[in-house]
Amino acid sequence: MPTIGWFEILIVVAIAIVVLGPKDFPVMLKKAGSWIGTAKRYVSNIQNEVSNLEIDDEKINDEVKKESKKDE
């Protein structure tokens, strides 16, 4: 998977400043930051839900094992 270095980021920023202009560039950075924050929160929520499902599954498996030992 290709990696993005500092030089590539600098080129993208320079092109964005030229295309958007110096006045609109900070506004676009703020919007991009907001989108990235929203995406990170969404991924974090999904990870927490999966983790909770795994914990619940482990609890259910432990309870089933305890019940099966009691029946024996």
Q: What does DSSP assign to residue 22?
A: T
Half-sphere exposure of 39 (CA within 13 A, CB side): 6
Tell me what pLDDT residue 45 has: 93
CA distances for 16 relative to 30, 34, 47, angstroms: 14, 18, 33
Phi, psi values for residue 41, rounded to 5°: -65, -40
What is the reported pTM?
A: 0.58
Cα separation, 20 vs 15, in Å, equals 8
Phi, psi values for residue 50, rounded to 5°: -65, -40
Name which residue leads in pLDDT, 70 or 21: 21
| Tens-digit pLDDT profile for residues 16-62 | 999 999 899 999 999 999 999 999 999 999 998 888 887 777 777 77
Tell me what pLDDT residue 3 has: 85
